[in-house]
Structure 1
Amino acid sequence: MSTVRDLPPLNALRAFEATARLGSASRAAEELHVTHGAVSRHLRTLEEALGQPLFARQGRGLALTPAGEQLRDGARDAFEQLRDAWARVARGQADAPFVLGCPGSLLARWMIPRLERLKQDLPTLKLHLSAQEAPFDPALTGVDAALLLSEPPWPGDWRVHELAPECIGPVLSPRYPGAAQLQQPEQLLGEALLHTASRPQAWPQWAALAGLEPGQLRYGQGFDHLYYLLEAAVAGLGVAIAPAQLVADDLASGRLLAPWGFRVTSAQWILAMPRRASSAQAEALADWLRTALA
């Protein structure tokens, strides 16, 4: 006896998912290598079973009804999970490492120094770290999750775990000329500030939060990546701007000073993963990161 929880034919769901995604029964037929008539029959089967339309005509194309939108979301996620599971099994990667992508600066300055502790706290997590400087795409291609500093809104295809607010502030080496006399924010207006192309908004953001006019800042040497920027600051080449967590070890050891303090920005440390994915490993990692960042 059929119940409301019975699944419709898989081929009918595939035809619906493709039509909803492509906005056209003809294009869905091409993708599935079937006739237009076959796709139309599958769509009618679903609509008759539900007793309501899934599509409405819109010009030359098709627009989803509210019922269609609801079914599309469920079908899309289900097919993506099936594709992922099939790919893992087919490649023999069901027991593959958990690939965590993150910018190189976060990897070198924060993640690697804490790896031993992470292994002790999460011994069953087989973690593989992948440095990535280019922006992560909405599909998070090539990684299971990404650790990064980012401002909302985030891509709709991401499942985001917010870990900690970003706090940024100026830092300099005790060897920097006149370091002992630099105490007030206004004094920074006379310094050649080290900056990075990866975070051009950092100095103006901090200046505004500190009550300074961002247009009065004077920039010195620039660097492609935050890692090099901070190494230059450690070498005494100038005043840099950095997230507090990335310089915490340097401040504790006395390699860097932060006489002007740190300010909370609108950015967040986040662990992002594909929305369709559900992983107990990712949940455990997010909890660990949240505690470590605190």
Structure 2
Amino acid sequence: MSSRPELVALRSFLSVYRTGGVARAAEALGLSQPAVSRHLKAIEESVGRPLFRRAGRGIAPTEAGHSLAAEVAEHIDALEGALDGLRSATLSGAGPVFVGAPVDLLERFVVPRMPPLLAEGLTVRCRVGLSPDLVNAVLRDEIDVALLTKIEGVPTRRMYLVPLLEERFLLVGPAGEEPYAPGRERRFVGYTEDMPMARRYFRECWAVRPPTPALIVNDFRAVVAAVIAGAGLTVVPHYLVEEHIAAGRLAVLHEPPQPVVNSVHIGTRRGREHLPRIRAVFGALSTVD
């Protein structure tokens, strides 16, 4: 950033706005908390009104804070991007890129595509999470890039999103299991209590809710293992079970008239998509099969 005090203070203000706290902003910027607090005070004195208010144990932006963030964010991000590009024409020496995704997507689509970036000098740190948590982490600058399986409700004015792939939902069970039809008593295995994939599959295919899961395991790979072992049926993305189906360990128990699909997106905080490291990760992930 520039050495002008106003720009330094605005950078601190924007980090507090995005992270939701002075301590988190100070850590992200590599500054002391008193320094960030001084910057906020200077900006508030400049605009003549408070930019944050206390909310529980933290702080929340006032209307003036929201307005100022909307005015300056794009310009501060552009300056950061320009400096990022000037600092290094390569990917090395620019600090790690933090990438978040559900564990199955991380294993299937993220990790296998990192070696070329690592060879160019990029360092990567991965984080497991579900879409709502990952969106919040991106907007708080805790992670740089996220793979999102659900974008309903995502603030697109603040998030830059690119479609990555379509996952096709399959209703599967152990090999030799009879085809599924609603009304028959069958056990199900779920990733969560509400089984959003199964809920969508049942809604689109039969306009009913799925059965309550008999077993819940918070890892889709373990869900698949449980189904292979005979624990019940499940609805999962196609890429998690294709090899098991081909090997005869699992069987598709229902063929819907129209495939039930879900779009997976890759996202970053809007204004950061032009940064070299972010572009490199987007490029690597966009080579999905």
Q: TM-score interval w.r.t. the shorter chain?
A: 0.5 to 0.7
Shift in CA distance, 275/94, structure 1 to aligned 2, threshold 3 Å: farther
**Secondary structure in 1 aligned to 2:241?**
helix
Going from structure 1 to structure 2, the CA distance change for 1:129 and 1:240 (only over 3 Å counts) comes to farther
**TM-score, length basis structure 2:** 0.64
The reply to whether residue 242 of structure 1 matches residue 236 of structure 2 is: yes
Following TM superposition, by how much is the alpha carbon of 1:270 offset from its aligned partner in structure 2, in angstroms? 1.7
8 A Cα contact 1:198 1:224, kept in partner: no
CA deviation string 1:196-221 (max 9, x = no partner): 21762222211111124216x35322
Q: Distance in 2 between matches of 1:63 and 1:186?
A: 54
For residue 164 of structure 1, give the secondary structure of its aligned residue in structure 2.
strand
TM-superposed CA distance for 1:19, in Å, is: 7.2
Distance of aligned partners of 1:132 and 1:168 in 2 relative to their CA distance in 1, 3 Å threshold: same
For 1:64-103, what aligned pairs fall within 5 Å after superposition? 71-78=71-78, 94-96=93-95, 98-103=97-102
Structure 2 residue runs of 5 or longer lacking an equivalent are: 23-33, 51-61
**Cα drift, residue 232 of structure 1:** 0.6
Percent of aligned pairs with the same amino acid:
16
CA RMSD of aligned residues (A): 4.6
| Residue 144 (str. 1) matches residue 148 (str. 2) | no
Deviation at 1:273, TM superposition (A): 2.1
Task: After TM superposition, list the pairs within 5 Å mapping 1:211-222 onto structure 2.
Answer: 211-214=206-209, 217-222=211-216
Task: Give the letter for the 1:94 counterpart.
Answer: G
CA distance in 1, matches of 2:238, 2:147: 16
Alignment of 1:218-233 (within 5 A): 218-233=212-227
Query: Corresponding residue for 1:153?
Result: 153
SS at match of 2:188: strand
Match of 1:208 among 199, 203, 206: 203
User: CA distance change for structure 1 residues 132 and 212 in 2, over 3 Å: closer, same or farther?
Assistant: same
Q: Is the 8 A contact 2:145 2:278 kept in 1?
A: yes
Alpha-carbon distance in 1 for matches of 2:231, 2:70: 57
Specify the code of the residue in structure 1 equivalent to 2:187: A
Counterparts of 1:204 and 1:111, CA distance in 2: 25
Distance 1:241 1:142, change over 3 A: same
1:132 — aligned with what? 128
| CA-CA distance at 1:94 after TM superposition | 1.9
Partner of 1:107: 106
Matched residues in 1 for 2:35 and 2:114: separation? 48
1:284–1:242 CA distance, 2 compared to 1 (3 A): same
Q: Which residue of 1 aligns with 2:270?
A: 275
> Does 1:185 pair with 2:181?
yes
Q: 2:38 aligns with which of 30, 33, 36?
A: 33
Q: Which SS does the other structure have where 1:192 is aligned?
A: coil
Residues 117 and 280, structure 2, Cα contact 8 Å, conserved in 1: no
- How far 1:77 moved relative to its partner? 2.2
| 2:288 maps to amino acid | A
CA contact (8 A) 1:100 1:127 kept: no
Long gaps (5+) in structure 1: 1-7, 44-54
Letter in 1 for 2:238: A
- Residue 167 of structure 1 aligns with which residue? 168
Q: Deviations over 1:28-60 (max 9, x none)?
A: x99563797x768966xxxxxxxxxxx999xxx
Q: Deviations over 1:168-220 (max 9, x none)?
A: 12111215xxx1x32x5336x421111121762222211111124216x3532
TM-score normalised by length of structure 1: 0.63
- The answer to whether the Cα contact below 8 Å between 1:106 and 1:246 also exists between their aligned partners in 2 is no
Matched to 1:207, the amino acid is F
